Structure 1
């Protein structure tokens, strides 16, 4: 943590890690990317239930306590609702939240400067372009500003999760004061905006869009490690010929052959370049 001065405000980045889906290496690499792409001073805080293996530069704090159950059998990352608490450890003021699986490819100072007077600024969700929907892989808010969201969600977690399906839709529709969106070009979705379409995906690696600052990997099994290896899913081969052969041996690939053919990527060197501690 570095201290702020009268002329340079402290930039605060937070992330959250629970369970076993993501290891400490995700936190360590996220910190490394932030440190290389931000103008100090900054503070990096991880709210987690397991600090093992996390690099010492990261401030680890306990997960915010909640008194309501998580919904079951639904989509969305509803444990993120802990971030809507009145208090987040000893963190106060504006924070920029980042998912653990993002890849930072450019300077992120602009996310603290854009729309400074608006409380909640989200990334645009490009998976459903016809809906004016936010994405919570990267968003900025003042600690405590989303308490009304948490109270509403706590009143019926299961029902709200079933109604809205994804936590970002709930945030977009119900955030106090409404939401604004960061410029679309700053944050790009790997699967939808970087991966090459069929048949180019068999000949060209995924592209890094111009002016992108952060690449998100929201949804699905394709995360930075898979992008680096050239696997659309962890169970898929990273060899083009072997991937095509699955149409003859895999029932799911045989039922939807074109979809299967689209689900191939070549190793992505620029992800490897940026996604490191």
Structure 2
């Protein structure tokens, strides 16, 4: 069965200003976005630094790092099975059954092209088949984005053009077009776009 994974930890000295606002409600909104747009069975797991109270349907697993930083995102790769890994600042806008199906049959993960350096991958969203737990078990604190690039991967942009896009790199310039997933990074997050129609519709 597909597992959708995300992470939540309390802001600490490693956290940048643009990622200090996350709380349980961000997890709930992300879960509801996947629940609305997946018709296939899936688990939703939040890796977290301490026990949390989540809505029904959200499982939790422990982040092992004593003081989590962004490298903790690699811990989600402990998941033994097909996985979609998404940050809390991700909005799901349309049916993504085909992305789930890809995770079930692929041989290596798929990552977005970095919107500013399209010849290399970023880790805004990851589509991960079974069998890649070594990405977690071999990790020794390397930068999370550089680490996932070291492993075989396809580009989501080539497999599903225009469907998994960066807000800053694509949507602000070109609009949503046929986007199914919008991932945010750095400054400007969904909660700062309350007046935008597609945020009101899909980030709830």
TM above 0.5, yes or no, is yes
- State the match for 1:234 in structure 2: none
CA contact 2:24–2:54 (8 Å) conserved in 1: yes
CA contact 1:120–1:141 (8 Å) conserved in 2: yes
Query: Structure 1: which 5+ runs fail to align?
Result: 1-9, 72-76, 162-166, 197-206, 229-266
- State the match for 1:179 in structure 2: 153
Cα distance in structure 1, aligned partners of 2:8 and 2:146:
21
- State the match for 1:95 in structure 2: 83
Q: Hey, which bits of structure 1, 4+ residues long, moved more than 6 A?
A: none
Q: Does structure 1 residue 81 correspond to structure 2 residue 74?
A: yes
- State the match for 2:16 in structure 1: none
Larger RCO (alpha carbons 8 Å, 6+ apart): 2
- State the match for 1:191 in structure 2: 168
- State the match for 1:15 in structure 2: 6
Which runs of structure 2 are paired with 1:159-178 in the superposition (5 Å)? 160-161=142-143, 167-172=144-149, 174-175=150-151, 178=152
- State the match for 2:27 in structure 1: 27
CA contact 1:25–1:53 (8 Å) conserved in 2: no
Cα distance in structure 2, aligned partners of 1:103 and 1:148:
25
Indicate the SS of the match to 2:10: coil
Q: CA deviation at 1:32?
A: 0.7
Per the alignment, do residues 28 and 149 of structure 1 end up closer, same or farther by CA in structure 2, a change over 3 Å counting? closer
Per the alignment, do residues 272 and 180 of structure 1 end up closer, same or farther by CA in structure 2, a change over 3 Å counting? same
Cα distance in structure 2, aligned partners of 1:145 and 1:78:
17
Q: CA deviation at 1:114?
A: 2.9
Query: Structure 2: which 5+ runs fail to align?
Result: 12-19
Which runs of structure 2 are paired with 1:1-277 in the superposition (5 Å)? 10-20=1-11, 21=20, 22-63=22-63, 65=64, 77-85=70-78, 88=79, 92-114=80-102, 116-129=105-118, 132-142=119-129, 145-147=132-134, 150-151=137-138, 153-154=139-140, 157=141, 160-161=142-143, 167-172=144-149, 174-175=150-151, 178-182=152-156, 183-196=160-173, 208-218=175-185, 220-228=186-194, 267-276=195-204
Q: CA deviation at 1:208?
A: 4.0
CA contact 2:38–2:95 (8 Å) conserved in 1: yes
CA contact 1:84–1:143 (8 Å) conserved in 2: no
Cα distance in structure 2, aligned partners of 1:70 and 1:59:
19
Alpha-carbon RMSD:
2.5
Q: CA deviation at 1:121?
A: 1.4
Q: What TM-score, normalized to structure 1?
A: 0.62
